Amino acid sequence: MLKSVGIVGLGIYAPEKVMTNADWEKLVDTSDEWIRTRTGIQERRYVTEGQGTSDLATEAAKKALEDAGMVPEDVEFIILATCTPDYRAQNASSLVQAKLGAKNAAAFDLSAACSGFIYALSIGKSMIQSGMYKNILVIAAESVSKLLNMKDRNTAILFGDGAAAAVLKEVEDGYGIISSFLGTEGVLDETLRINYGGTLHPVTHEAIDNGDIYLKMNGQEVFKFAVKALPKSTKEALAAGNINVEDLDMVIPHQANMRIIEAAAKRLKLPMDKFYVNLQKYGNTSAASVGLALGEAVQEGKIKKGDLLALTGFGAGLTYGSVVIKWAK
């Protein structure tokens, strides 16, 4: 019989710099009302000068280890979900390993954009169930603000920075990560992509001048994908665990847009009060989004032992996925 694997420690971190809708009004042709009514976002956090994704990840990881009653030397493996690593050719998870002092841990980065935390939890669970490892540190961290064109009001206003970390270990039988579903609908166009900076299109002066080194998004296409992907992945993960959607105590969705979450709630036939939302404070923090929301929900006392949760994400790729968790703490 496979081991039950769950989250035994949780930590979140958001940088100190706050970027409000009022701040955006000074930069581009927009308004607080326009942003709030279309997205639900009121403010977001940005990294400061000299602060990178590995710094955010390290802070969240420290809190998760403290919550789990562990020290860095206890960690055997680090999985860092991010699409905004510090460097092009050194994995950010290795930087986190060094900064934490997790000298016994192997480490790799995982790139699944806003689905990253879901993918990492699912992989981490499988690695523990295989018997290879006992203690795995899953982190999702992003510095998306560094990749935004501050003149593009349609994209730049949506995103923020942050990190979340979870310690995975064997837990009481029947608790922890019950089931999961991961999916991909690969697209070859620039639905959600940074066109220049990779091996196909290295950075050029022309690309910089044209703004091609920044994140570009087709909002309508992403919306159409998201309102289908979020309920589909949630239903698939529930089916894999033989759980009915009505049995869920809480859904923690990717915090991209309030309209997407409301549309998904209707498709799942669940009331909005079962959905935890904090996008008004952080915006879309990509891979960190679901973990940040989970961490805040726990801090606020809204999750108790035995609660059934569905964590669900969708992002560039296009990727999507869900995990169903019976909370073990």
Q: Please tell me the total count of domains within the chain.
A: 2
| pLDDT (0 to 100) of residue 154 | 86
What domain range includes position 296?
Answer: 178-326
**Do 148 and 217 lie in a common domain?**
no
Whole-angstrom Cα distance, residue 324 to residue 274? 14
> Would you call 42 helix, strand, or coil by DSSP?
coil
**Do 139 and 159 lie in a common domain?**
yes
**Do 132 and 213 lie in a common domain?**
no
Domain limit, last residue, from 139, 155, 174? 174
Helix-strand-coil percent breakdown of the chain, rounded to 5?
40, 25, 35
Place of tokens 């510090």: 86
**Do 163 and 223 lie in a common domain?**
no
pTM assigned to the model: 0.96
**Do 37 and 164 lie in a common domain?**
yes
**Do 155 and 253 lie in a common domain?**
no
User: CA Rg, the chain, in Å?
Assistant: 19
Q: What is the CATH number of the domain that holds 283?
A: 3.40.47.10
Whole-angstrom Cα distance, residue 324 to residue 312? 9
**Do 143 and 210 lie in a common domain?**
no
**Do 88 and 109 lie in a common domain?**
yes
Structure token digits, residue 70: 């562990």
**Phi, psi angle pair for 309, to nearest 5°:** -120, 145
Whole-angstrom Cα distance, residue 286 to residue 112? 9
**Do 208 and 302 lie in a common domain?**
yes
**Do 96 and 192 lie in a common domain?**
no
Domain limit, last residue, from 145, 174, 203? 174
Domain limit, last residue, from 154, 174, 194? 174
**Do 240 and 153 lie in a common domain?**
no
> Could you count the other beta carbons within 10 Å of the beta carbon of residue 105?
22
Question: Could you read off the pLDDT tens digit of each residue along the chain, which spans 329 residues?
Answer: 899 999 999 999 999 999 999 999 999 999 999 999 999 999 999 999 999 999 999 999 999 999 999 999 999 999 999 999 999 999 999 999 999 999 999 999 999 999 999 999 999 999 999 999 999 999 999 999 999 999 998 899 999 999 999 999 999 999 999 999 999 999 988 889 989 999 999 999 999 999 899 998 988 999 999 999 999 999 999 999 999 999 999 999 999 999 999 999 999 999 999 999 999 999 999 999 999 999 999 999 999 999 999 999 999 999 999 999 999 99
**Do 118 and 200 lie in a common domain?**
no
Structure token digits, residue 220: 């309508």
Question: Catalytic amino acids?
Answer: 114, 254, 284
User: Any idea what DSSP says for residue 275?
Assistant: B
